[in-house]
Structure 1
Amino acid sequence: MSNAIEFKPINVLIIGASRGIGLGFVKQLLKNEEVEQIFATYRQETSADSLLSLKNEAESKLICLPLDITNEEEITEVVKQIQTRVNQLHLVINCVGILHEGSLQPSKSLRQVNSEKLSRYFQVNSIGSVLLAKHLVPLFRHHQPSVLASISAKLGSIGDNELGGWYGYRASKAALNMLMRTVAIEYKRINPQTRVITLHPGTTDTDLSKPFHKNIPPEKIFSVERTVKQLLTVINNLTENDSGHFFSWDGTRLPW
């Protein structure tokens, strides 16, 4: 790693690491000799087999912690557990997000919109991130460059929305972008070395996007490994002036 995170050793927190892009980040960063400690969270142990098996191979470098991002008490507890091991974090990536979940499916028209669905989208895709930013303040209170990144989506761009539909998902990701933009402004005062960004990973071959692959050309569907490498490149090339912005997988800034 360089530029944005240009020192050694690096302590990392990956939220939502049991599968998909989050698990991909853990696998990639475990190979990085500059990374000393990785904390990785999962919501349910029953669906975290791949992550927990990495823990057995990584010895003390990987610490796996249960976390439901919609529960602020659990966020507080995870931060306390991290603080028993380290007093600084240098890279935090929140990969938690839902598009569909059981009976929860994208609301593509007004007749499908209801308050329960909207609330669930906002709980997971928006509110959890700002609660994380709130409780991570002490771990970013140091003098080394650091990054707080949240996985967003281009569908959350109001300026780019020409097709409509996907009400809850679009709105919750737009809210995520606004919340993290606002966090970036406050962090500039209290943790000025931390760059706060949101990231569009592109369509990635994960469970989240798989039901919608039939409408996407195969060459536009990225492997998890490719997505992770692209996003780490974006992170490594961040400058101080990039905090508070929304980036696509290729490093371009996306409109709000």
Structure 2
Amino acid sequence: MNGFEKNFHALVVGANGGIGTAICDQLSEMENCISVVNLDRRAYPEFDLRDEQSIAKVTDGFRAKGMLFDLVFDATGALEIEGERPEKSIRELDPLTMAAHFSINAIGPALLIKHLSQIQPRSGRTIFATLGARVGSIEDNQLGGWISYRAAKAAQNQIIKTAAIELSRQNPSSICVSLHPGTVDTKLTRKYATSYRKLSPSEAAEKLLRVLGELSPEESGFQYDYAGIKLPS
């Protein structure tokens, strides 16, 4: 992760998932990564991505201990929520399911930026990265379907763009991006990507961290895939 030329501290949100666990493992092996904190419900039972007060409480706990994180990696997200498969057509649209997608896949990352960016240094290179999805690209949508998930991920991209502008005013060396990990062999993809070659979580984590290591503040505010290619909005 050559972008971190100095020692750094990392926080991984959703570290109990396939990609989140692999990100933690990769970071733990980096000589200049001083600490990796896992933020999930195993380590912090009170934490709930859909409850702003719980995010604020955890953040306040880190702040009280004087903890700052150069890298915050948000590995949360959901394709199926409460057993509901993504819609194949607009006729299947359910407003409660759509609201749940926005709560987890868009509002959740926004709340994480709101609170966790406050415990990132105000000078020097910092990164807030969240897992995005290629299907969140409006320009790249050729197939339709998955309306709730697509719309929430598109909203996530707008949130990242807007937050990046604001964070750059606080710290010109900050980077705020979403990352498309490719098709990764996790619970999220097993039902939906049977014909695609899948990356292992370890492979995906290695590639995503390499991308983060090569990004500059001028490239903040966009979505990149695991090869470092900027995806269309």
TM-score range, shorter chain: over 0.9
1:119 matched to 2:111? The reply is no
Matched, 1:222 2:199: yes
Show structure 1 runs of 4+ deviating over 3 A: 84-87
Do 2:81 and 2:97's aligned partners in 1 also have CA atoms closer than 8 Å? no
Whole-Å Cα distance in 2 between the matches of residues 39 and 226 of structure 1? 21
Q: Structure 1 CA distance, aligned partners of 2:82 and 2:121?
A: 39
1:126-173 C-alpha deviation (Å, 9 max, x unpaired): 001111111123312421201000100000000100000000110000
Q: Show the counterpart of 1:88.
A: 68
Aligned counterpart for 1:249 among listed residues 222, 226, 229: 226
Match of 1:21 among 14, 19, 22: 19
TM-score under structure 1 length normalisation: 0.87
Instruction: For residue 18 of structure 1, give the secondary structure of its aligned residue in structure 2.
Output: coil
Unmatched tracts of structure 2, length 5 or more: none
User: Which residue identity does 2:18 align to in structure 1?
Assistant: G
Alignment of structure 1 residues 1-256 onto 2, 5 Å: 1-3=1-3, 5-8=4-7, 10-43=8-41, 45=42, 64-66=43-45, 67-214=47-194, 216-217=195-196, 220-256=197-233
2: distance between equivalents of 1:134 and 1:102? 26
Q: Which amino acid aligns with 2:9?
A: N
User: Superposition RMSD on alpha carbons, in Å?
Assistant: 1.3
Q: Identical aligned pairs, as a percentage?
A: 33
TM superposition shift of 1:19: 2.0
Residue by residue, what CA displacement relative to the aligned partner does 1:38-85 show, whole Å, maximum 9, x if unpaired? 121223x4xxxxxxxxxxxxxxxxxx3342111101111111122233
In structure 2, C-alpha distance between the alignment counterparts of 1:27 and 1:13, rounded to whole Å: 12
SS at 2:24 equivalent: helix
Amino acid of the residue matched to residue 24 of structure 2? V
TM-score by length of 2: 0.95
Contact residue 137 and residue 191 of structure 1 kept, 8 A: no
5+ long unaligned stretches in structure 1: 46-63
Contact 1:39–1:65 at 8 Å: present in 2 too? Answer: no
**1:164-185: CA deviation from partner (whole Å, max 9, x where unpaired):** 0000110000000000110001
Structure 1 counterpart SS, 2:73: strand
